[in-house]
Amino acid sequence: MSLPSPSFSVASRVAYGTTARACRSGSRPLVVAMSGGVDSSVAAGLLCRAGHRVIGITLQLYDERRRPSELGQASGALRAKSCCAGRDIMDARAAARQLGIAHYVLDFEQRFQSTVVEDFLASYRRGETPLPCVRCNQHVKFSSLLSVARDLGACGLATGHYIRKAGGKASSKARCESTSKVESISNGEEANGEAGDDGEFDLLRARDLAKDQSYFLFTMTREQLAFLHFPLGDLRKDETRALAREMGLPNANKVESQDICFVSSRYTQLFPELASSSRRRGEICDLSGRVLGYHRGIECYTVGQRRGLGLGGLREPLYVVSLDAERNRVYVGERWALSVRGVVLRELNLLGALADFDDGELSVKFRSLMTAERARVTFTRSGKGAGKGSGKGSGKGSQLRCEVTFARAQQGVSCGQACVFYAGERVLGGGIIDKTIGYDANDGTSDVTAKDVTAKDELDARENLDEVAVAAA
């Protein structure tokens, strides 16, 4: 079908910009991941306008009506702010019909259950705060779906994420070195590659920082980035909706997906042991180890949580400072005790070179909605082969350890969340927070005291803790 031309220049720039130039492959199709929301539908529409043969694919990740007991849902309930189930599949199909493109629904329920839902539960049981959206992008959308797109002979996979991709041949000083080596760490494993292959692209934050989704996308590899396209990276949300109405898309005014898609109300409904009389109750202790009360299961708590502790008669409000899954204890303290100097990361994924971290002008985010904070990122090797150079194959058998030191103390930092690195608008990668550097519940000590927390820290902490409270509600 023929679609009208965009009514404002920014849409034209997106439709006929980087994506169109990078994926001109004759009759080869371009696959678009269509969740049923307005963003992915407009992404598909823009690519149609750019002259691509577009195939829309929607993943069915769970069935709320068929598996209410397994995912803790009310039987027959369809949620308005979820994605990839029920009504969303119908919305994606209707959008594809309006655009005149082929559309297919693939059953990825088993993959989603094993890589996202089970990881979500395991993370809480370890006393961490999980990131299911990151895991879904990592193991389902940018892994399994990308493989499907390749199998179809597609020239690329496009999504409706607000993020940008740009050629990066001159953006990293490491890529200009005579060795032309780019050292990268992908999904916890060390690898080396030649600059100019999959490493020629950079991942950039969205033009509209209020909609930027880079925090949830740091796990993509350079090889995946070379195959991916993000048509909405230069748009604001209101421009996306205007384009949707112009294209006549039936989901132009659909409410955004904001919640964890497989959780109907409280995430604790997903834990069968919490409904059992044999659930593991444990102690709630202050920083000195004194028992103040008892918790109803460590899975019910997250760092920064204030409400629902069941502790009365206290002079000052107390917050969850840390969770000790091994001892089955919840440690609480005053707000200053939430402050940490830095974090140690696991599951590193770097999109650039280690030399990119030498300049010191870096910032990090450990929550998606926070303003990026200045930090120093350092890497050290441990184990066999450490310190034997930086060429290809060096350090074999060694492990790379990453430590992030914040320029000022931060609050509301939780293990299990991501810490993402930025150099200006460029996304350098990130990792999962494995340990915080500050208060240590195991020995009852802290290198951060109340006097370290400034008035600005307190203001920022309220924003971070409000975000934590949403997850704990």
In whole angstroms, what is the distance from residue 157 CA to residue 227 CA? 6
Q: Find all residues with CB under 8 Å of 183, minimum gap 6, and list them.
A: 190, 192, 350, 353, 354, 390
In whole angstroms, what is the distance from residue 402 CA to residue 304 CA? 24
Task: Determine how many CB atoms are found less than 10 A away from the CB of residue 114.
Answer: 11
Active site residue 419: no
Helix (H) or strand (E) holding 191: strand 189-194
Task: Determine how many CB atoms are found less than 10 A away from the CB of residue 8.
Answer: 11
In whole angstroms, what is the distance from residue 302 CA to residue 321 CA? 8
Residue with tokens 């990453």: 402
Task: Determine how many CB atoms are found less than 10 A away from the CB of residue 42.
Answer: 30
Classified as helix, coil or strand, 92 is helix
Task: Determine how many CB atoms are found less than 10 A away from the CB of residue 95.
Answer: 30
Task: Determine how many CB atoms are found less than 10 A away from the CB of residue 368.
Answer: 17
Residue with tokens 């009389």: 277
In whole angstroms, what is the distance from residue 372 CA to residue 302 CA? 22
Active site residue 261: yes
Which residue type sits at 456? K
In whole angstroms, what is the distance from residue 243 CA to residue 255 CA? 16
What tokens were used for 97? 């019909």
Burial 393-432 (b: 16+ CB within 10 A, else e): ebbeebbbbbebebeebbbbbbbbbbbbbbbebbbbbbbb
Among 102, 75, 103, which residue's Cα sits nearest to residue 89? 103
| CA distances from residue 341 to 194, 324, 473 in whole angstroms, order as listed | 36, 20, 27
Could you tell me how many residues make up the chain? 473
Q: Which of 23, 136, 300, 402 is catalytic?
A: 136
Q: Which of 84, 155, 261, 300 is catalytic?
A: 261
Burial status of residue 283 (CB atoms within 10 A of its CB: 0-12, 13-18, 19 or more): middle
Task: Determine how many CB atoms are found less than 10 A away from the CB of residue 21.
Answer: 10
Contact 239, 7 (CB under 8 A): no
- Concatenated DSSP letters for 216-240? G-TT--HHHHHHEE-TTTT--HHHH
What tokens were used for 26? 């004759």
What tokens were used for 100? 């005149």
* Catalytic machinery residues: 136, 261
